[in-house]
Amino acid sequence: MPASSLHLQTQNPAQRRIFLTSALPYANGPIHLGHLVEMVQTDIWARALRMHGHSVLYIGADDTHGTPIMLRAEKEGIAPNALIRRVWAEHKRNFDDFYISFDYYGSTDSETNRQLCEHIYRTLEKSGLISARAIEQAYDPERGMFLPDRFIKGACPKCNAPDQYGDACEICGSTYAPTDLVNPYSAISGATPVHRTTTHYFFRLSDPQCQAFLQRWVAQLAQPEARNKLREWLGETGASKLIDWDISRDAPYFGFEIPGAPGKYFYVWLDAPVGYYASLKALCNARGLDFDDWVKPESAAEQYHFIGKDILYFHTLFWPALLRFSGFRPPTNVFAHGFLTIDGQKMSKSRGTLITAQSYLDAGLNPEWLRYYFAAKLNGSIEDMDLNLDDFAMRVNSDLIGKYINIASRTARFLVKCFNGRVLDHAMHHPLLERLRAALPSIAMDYENRDTARAMRALMRNADAVNAYIDAEKPWAHAKAPDGAEALHEICSVALEAFRLLTLALKPVLPRLAQTVENWLAIAPLAWSDARAPLHSGQPIQPYRHLMTRIEPGRMDVLLAQNRAALNASLLS
C-alpha cells in the first residue's frame, strides 16, 4: 500500500490540517469540462474530508502571466490587468455554479505572490542554486521578440510528432528546449525563428542535492504511474538526467520582473505554483491563521495538489525542489488525472466538443448531474476518462433518479399523509439500515483514496437493496389495507432513513441536493459521524417536493448545438 494511503488511514482525524489545491486555470480562455474534471475531483475530496471534521483549506487562483495574456490583451485593445480581472470573474462564477468549495480563489498577479517569488528566488540565489548564463533562443524577426516555449512550434525532436509546442510534446510526453524543435516556426507570425543570444537565469535542478532529495521524495507518491515516470526523469532507469530549469523570460513579457535583473521576468511556471502559497497566505491573513504553521518544513499540516497528467513534470520535479531549497515544506503528495475525451474523441473546437462550463449551464443542465458522472468514472488513476453523452444521460436517469431519488418519491408522501411526517422510532434498527451504516466507513475510505467510482458503485448497490426492499414490502398495498397502517409506517420509516444514509454518502458529490434534503428532513448538515444519529419521531419531515429531474431526450443535442454556436462566435471575434 502506498505511503499516502497509510497516512490517510492512521492520522488522528482531530489533528489533521490539510492544504489542498487544484491546478490554476490559465486566464486567457473559458473554463471547459476538462478543467471541471479536476475541480470536481478535488472538491469531492475536500468535502469528504471536511465531513470527518478535518481542517481543510482548499485554495485556487487564476494563472495570469505570460506572453499569451499579453498578446490577447493587445488584440482586444485593453491592458493585461483588465483582461485578467474580467476572466477571473468569469472563472469564479463558473466554479461557484458547479459548487466548487474554494476557501479562497485568488490570482497569481498579486503583490503577495510577487513578494513570495522574490523571497524564494533570493533564498535560492544565496544557496548557490541560481546561475546566469548566455543561451541561444528563438527570436521572431517579424515581431521583434524572443519566442516563449508556447509560441514556437515544430516537430518533436524525440518522436517527430508535428505541431508540438516548444517545451513538451503532447504525444510522447518528452520535454526539451525550444531550440531542439525540428522545422520550427513562430506561432505568432508564422516566420521562421532565428537564434539570438540572451542571458537567462536557471534554477540548478541538476545539483546533486536536488537529485538526492527528489530520489527520496518520490517514494511517497501515491500513484505508481507517477512514481515510475519520476524515476525515469531522475535517471534511475538510465533514461535521462535532471537538467537545470530556465526560470526567466525576456521583455516584452507580462509578469514579475526578476530582482536585480532589468528586462528579465520570472517564467510563468515559477510564479504560478508559488501562487498556491500566495493564495494560502491571503486566506491565512483573512482568517488570522499562521501561514508559517502551514508551510514550513516542521509543519504538521498536509499539502496535496490535484493536477492533470500533462503538468506532472512541473509538480513532481521543479515544485518540490523549489520548496525544499527555499525553506518550505515539499508536498505531501501530488495526484494526477488523465485527459477528458468527449464520445471517445479529443475535445475539439472545430467539432464543437470543447464544451465550456457556460455552454453546459446555458443548456439548462444540472451541474450535479456532471459532478455525479465524473465521480462515477474517476478511480484515482492517471488513465483518460471519456464523457459519453448517451451514457451520461442514461447513468443520471438510472442511478440518480431511478435508484436514489426514487426511494424518497415512493415513500415520503405516505409518511406525510398518513403519519404527520413522523418516522417510527423502533424501525431505525432494521437490518437493512444496519447494512447501510456498516457500508459507510468503506465508502468514506474510497473517497479518501480518490476512488469515487468504487464509492458510487457501492452506493448504488445499496440503493438497489433499498428499492428491492420497497418492491418486496409493497407500501402502496398496505396503504389500501384496513390493517396495514403499522406495516406501512415501518416500511416508509426504513426507506426514509435509508435515503438519509445514502444522502450522507453522496453529499461530497451532490452538495446542493444534500442541503435540500437536510432542509426537507429538518436535520443538521450531515457528517460521517451522523451515520448512527437516525431520524426520530420528534422531528417531522416537510411535505415531499421533487428533488431532481431526469435528462429528457434531446437535451444533449441542445448542449452540443449551443456550445458549437458559442465556439464559432468566439473564433470569429
Convert the pLDDT of each residue in 501-523 to its tens digit.
Answer: 999 999 999 999 999 999 999 99
What's the pLDDT score for residue 237? 59
Q: How confident is the model at residue 9 (pLDDT cuts 50, 70, 90)?
A: very low
Grid coordinates given for 131: 546561475
Q: Is 90 exceeded by the pLDDT of residue 414?
A: yes
Dump pLDDT digits (tens) for 177-227.
888 899 999 988 999 999 899 999 999 999 999 999 999 999 889 999 999
Cβ neighbours of residue 288 under 8 Å, at least 6 residues apart?
Answer: none
Which of these ranges, 35-39, 255-259, 563-567, has the smallest mean pLDDT?
Answer: 563-567
Query: Which cell numbers hold the place of 381?
Result: 488513476
The backbone torsions φ and ψ at residue 219, rounded to the nearest 5 degrees and listed phi first, read -65, -25
In the structure, what pLDDT confidence band is assigned to residue 235 with cuts at 50, 70 and 90? Answer: confident
- R_g (Cα) of the chain, nearest Å: 27
Q: How confident is the model at residue 139 (pLDDT cuts 50, 70, 90)?
A: very high
Question: What CATH number matches the domain at 13-128+266-337, 3.40.50.2020, 3.40.50.150, 3.40.50.620, 3.90.25.10?
Answer: 3.40.50.620
| 364-382 burial: b if 16+ Cβ within 10 Å, else e | ebbbbbbbbbbbbbbbbbb
Contact 327, 274 (CB under 8 A): no
How confident is the model at residue 409, as a pLDDT? 96
Tell me the pLDDT tens digit for each residue of 253-267.
Answer: 999 999 999 999 999
Is the pLDDT confidence value at 405 over 60? yes
- For 274, the enclosing helix (H) or strand (E) is helix 268-287
Q: How far is CA 243 from CA 202, 494, 548, 573, in A?
A: 10, 63, 53, 41
Q: What is the mean pLDDT of residues 535-555?
A: 94
Q: Considering only the top CATH level, what class is 406-532?
A: mainly alpha
The CATH 1.10.730.10 domain(s) of the chain lie at 406-532
- Local structure of 168: helix, strand or coil: strand
Q: Of the given ranges (101-110, 239-248, 289-298, 438-447), which has the lowest mean pLDDT?
A: 239-248
pLDDT at 496 (0 to 100): 98
Note if the pTM is more than 0.85.
yes
pLDDT at 571 (0 to 100)? 54
What is the C-alpha to C-alpha distance for residues 514 and 39, in angstroms, rounded to an integer?
19
Domain with CATH 3.40.50.620 in the chain: 13-128+266-337
d(CA 14, CA 21): 21
Q: How many helices (H) and strands (E) does the chain have?
A: 21, 17
At 347-357, the pLDDT tens digits run 877 677 889 99
How does pLDDT run across 88-132, given as a tens digit for each residue? 999 999 999 999 999 999 999 999 999 999 999 999 999 999 999
The span from the CA of 254 to the CA of 83, in Å, is 12
H helix or E strand, kind and range, residue 555: helix 555-572
Name the band, by pLDDT with cuts 50, 70 and 90, for residue 476: very high
Ranking 41-50, 156-165, 499-508 by mean pLDDT, the lowest is 156-165
The span from the CA of 379 to the CA of 447, in Å, is 10
Half-sphere exposure (Cβ direction) of 272: Cα atoms closer than 13 Å = 20
Position 53 scores a pLDDT of: 96
pLDDT class of 441 with cuts at 50, 70, 90: very high
Q: Worst-scoring range by mean pLDDT, 14-23, 76-85, 391-400, 526-535?
A: 14-23
Rounded average pLDDT over 391-417 = 97
DSSP string, 318-349: IHHHHHHTTTSPPPSEEEEE--EEETTEE--T
111-118 contacts: CB < 8 A, separation 24 or more? 112/278, 112/281, 112/282, 113/256, 113/271, 113/274, 113/275, 113/278, 114/256, 114/271, 116/274, 116/277, 116/278, 116/281, 117/256, 117/266, 117/270, 117/271, 117/274, 118/256, 118/259
pLDDT of residue 208: 92
Q: Which three cell numbers stand for residue 83?
A: 483582461
Amino acid at 446: D
**CA 12 → CA 16, 53, 266, distances in Å?**
7, 11, 40
